[in-house]
Amino acid sequence: MEVDTIRVFAPATVANVVCGFDVLGFAVNEPGDEVVMRLKNRPGITISKITGDDGKLPYNPFKNTVSVSVKHYLDHIGRSDVGLDIELHKKMPIGSGLGSSSASTVAGLFAIKNLLGDTSDPSTLLPFVMKGEEMACGHGHADNVAPALMGGFVLIRSYQPLEVIRLPYPKDLFCAIVFPQVDVPTREARQIIRNKILLKDAVTQWGNIAGLISGLYTNDIELIGRSMEDVLIEPVRAMLIPDFYKLRDIAMKSGAVSFGISGSGPSVFAFAKDPETAKQINQKIQAHLTGIGINSYQYVSSINGEGPRVLD
Amino acid sequence: MEVDTIRVFAPATVANVVCGFDVLGFAVNEPGDEVVMRLKNRPGITISKITGDDGKLPYNPFKNTVSVSVKHYLDHIGRSDVGLDIELHKKMPIGSGLGSSSASTVAGLFAIKNLLGDTSDPSTLLPFVMKGEEMACGHGHADNVAPALMGGFVLIRSYQPLEVIRLPYPKDLFCAIVFPQVDVPTREARQIIRNKILLKDAVTQWGNIAGLISGLYTNDIELIGRSMEDVLIEPVRAMLIPDFYKLRDIAMKSGAVSFGISGSGPSVFAFAKDPETAKQINQKIQAHLTGIGINSYQYVSSINGEGPRVLD
């Protein structure tokens, strides 16, 4: 019996990872998005259901990033004849800085790849997910896309040509994420960043990214923590996040290895050496946010080494 | 019989390593400087001989970086009573971009440390060599100092506080160095660099340094080569080196893995996968320089994993 329906999960991602603006990202096990895809008898792509998006995402298949990416892929492999229906189940907030659009797009592309029996490495889908991100965010930055697709911790060594490198990471590194429910659109979060920076700050930054990469290769969690400082982007974006420095203080005092902004925010994340510490960090951060009248979601997860996966 | 005379070699170094301005450096086996140090019966430091410096370096022990650093060290350990005489034998050109002053200072400090039977790790001498460099170059940048002292390939993760990380490197990586005899003083070479840079160029640069670090940990020489691109400093400093881009072209066509400026120049260096290729690269670069009327020195070396050593 040929499979004609598939359900796929793709993970949320933390991009930038504090000192790796635009070049580092990792995937988490929770949250993530789900896509249900059904092959149909006649050509054309439809979207029959979207849940969890508060009505924000378009059903028009020419405007939804998932369907646009899938169509781009089908055209590329010469299978424009394929007809299919998409259900998109958002299991994470939109505009959270957790790679929400990447997760949906990766889920869609991984679904069609599997439905068509394409056994090539998922990383071959990278250009198609990038296309979707360009549409969603106005730029095709791979630091959310690549970890969502390939899992684990990844480095975008180069954008032209695109070169993605899988990095090792300590297995006992846990990620605490809190999403404060305030609005920070990606486009605007990018616009407030200065185009020109001081060379001396850049030197500090690349010393740190080099330290972080070393720490990942040597399983040195303390070095990873010391290296996760951002003198360039964080001081600007921190303004968009309520009580950011207070939240950092709370996280570090609760045992965090490091703390920073996930992607363009407003989600913040911390690394911790065990899930209990990660949970405590989140509880204290949420309590502080509640105290200043801000609702939040929280997630605790290890790093997702797998990327998207077929469910059921 | 107590040892009261010692002869020490300390290696030349290649700082910056193309994409790691101010934070990366490695030591080579050739060239390097030698210091002969002799304990004396009465306090005070004298310099009795300097060779190979074309009369450029001061005999005044309060002005020579070697004696100043040694005195600083003796004061620090409470041994201002120690008297000694220094011979400095420069075996590499001054102002070459090969860490000439670092090599001399490291040799001097390693000599006194050994003479006094101090068995601590050589890296403990770092602050004292930094002091010497501050005097010689007007800044205490550790990217020459640390590899000269510790050997191998090092990362200055942070300057405040100073944190130096030893990096692994492929054992079959050979370094071809050519020093064209033109004058590029370190101080001036720093001054022509812009204080402000474009964020997008910095992103390119930290993608590359992250790629280089990954390549060093994974023994991936091709990745090391691809990552060694500098969009920030090299385009400015290249102007100080005759036919720089032509030299790069010659090196790459002769089988170099990568090519760039050593430190602040004018020395250039290439990585190669075997010593024969390294020699050929140097021959062709020297032939081109000769053709445009410029004399040069050349060195072929593996990476020096040891740092300074006692001779005889």
Q: B160 to chain A nearest CA, in Å?
A: 10
Residues in chain A: 312
Average model confidence (pLDDT) across chain B: 93
Instruction: Give the model confidence (pLDDT) of A81-122 as tens digits.
Output: 999 999 999 999 988 999 999 999 999 999 999 999 999 999
- Cβ proximity of A28 and A14 under 8 Å: yes
Cα distance between residue A84 and residue A65, in whole Å: 15
Nearest to B248 by CA among B225, B264, B232: B225
Instruction: Give the model confidence (pLDDT) of A203-247 as tens digits.
Output: 999 999 999 999 999 999 999 999 999 999 999 999 889 999 999
Angle at B155 between CA B149 and CA B161, to 5 degrees: 85
Query: Which residue in B has a C-alpha nearest to residue A202's C-alpha?
Result: B202
The tokens of B70 are what? 């040694």
Residues of chain B contacting A207 with CB distance shorter than 8 Å: 22-23, 155-159
Confidence band of A137 (pLDDT split at 50, 70, 90):
low
Cα distance between residue B217 and residue B220, in whole Å: 8
- What three-state secondary structure class fits B194? coil
The reply to whether A200 touches chain B by the CB within 8 Å rule is: yes
Cα distance between residue B182 and residue B196, in whole Å: 28
pLDDT tens, per residue, chain B with 312 residues: 456 999 999 999 999 999 999 999 999 999 999 999 999 999 999 999 999 999 999 999 999 999 999 999 999 999 999 999 999 999 999 889 999 999 999 999 999 999 999 999 999 999 998 887 787 666 667 899 999 999 999 999 999 899 999 999 999 999 999 999 987 666 676 677 889 999 999 999 999 999 999 999 999 999 999 999 999 999 999 988 999 999 999 999 999 999 999 999 999 999 999 999 999 999 999 999 999 999 999 999 999 999 999 998
DSSP state of B304: -
The reply to whether B203 touches chain A by the CB within 8 Å rule is: yes
Write the CB contacts of A144 (distance below 8 Å, at least 6 apart in sequence).
A13, A15, A25, A99, A101, A102, A133, A263
Please judge whether A155 and B210 are an interchain contact, meaning their C-beta atoms are less than 8 angstroms apart: yes
H helices of A233-274, where?
Answer: 234-237, 244-253
Instruction: Give the model confidence (pLDDT) of B226-250 as tens digits.
Output: 999 999 999 999 988 999 999 999 9
Residues of chain A contacting B167 with CB distance shorter than 8 Å: 214
- Binding-site residues of B for ATP: 93-103
The tokens of B174 are what? 């050979």
- What three-state secondary structure class fits A187? helix
Cα distance between residue B118 and residue B111, in whole Å: 10
Question: Which amino acid type is present at position B305?
Answer: G
Question: Which amino acid type is present at position B127?
Answer: P
What domains are defined for chain B? 5-167+306-311 (3.30.230.10), 174-302 (3.30.70.890)
Predicted local distance difference test score (pLDDT) of residue A185: 65
Cα distance between residue B98 and residue B267, in whole Å: 7
Considering only the beta carbons, identify the residue of A197, A209, A226 that sits closest to B210: A209
ipTM of the complex: 0.94
Within its chain, how far is the Cα of B199 from the centroid?
A: 29
Average model confidence (pLDDT) across chain A: 93
- Cβ proximity of B42 and B182 under 8 Å: no
Query: Which residue in A has a C-alpha nearest to residue B21's C-alpha?
Result: A203
